[in-house]
Amino acid sequence: MGADPVSSLAARQKTEVFNRRYGAAIRRLRMEAGLKQSDIAGLTERNLRRVEHGQLAASKSTLQSLANAHGMALEDYLDGLALGVKGA
């Protein structure tokens, strides 16, 4: 028996909404820090743009690159993102 298509759609939609909110928080933090997409070492501008628009989930290495660019420990950067996601 396969997965319930309604449940699968709902789960996919929740993930998409989360990725958009998380991406918006990433973009907001970057812009508040005065960083350009090209300032983030280890990420292409294209991939960062996709993350910021919720089209691509942020991997741990992406988050580490972002934290490094902000001069923050990963844990502190994630705390900042969590506040941004809640405020969105």
Give the confidence band of 86 by pLDDT, cuts at 50, 70, 90. Answer: confident
Which of 3, 23, 27, 4 has its CA nearest to residue 15?
Answer: 23
Tell me the backbone φ, ψ of residue 10, rounded to 5 degrees: -65, -40
Average pLDDT on 17-28 reads 94
| CA distances from residue 60 to 5, 43, 57, 63 in whole angstroms, order as listed | 30, 12, 10, 5
pLDDT of residue 56: 94
| pLDDT over 70 (residue 87) | no
Are the C-beta atoms of residues 51 and 58 closer than 8 Å to each other? yes
pLDDT digits (tens, 9 = 90+) for 52-75: 999 999 999 999 999 999 999 999
Task: State the average pLDDT for the chain.
Answer: 91
Domain architecture of the chain: domains with CATH? 5-87 (1.10.260.40)
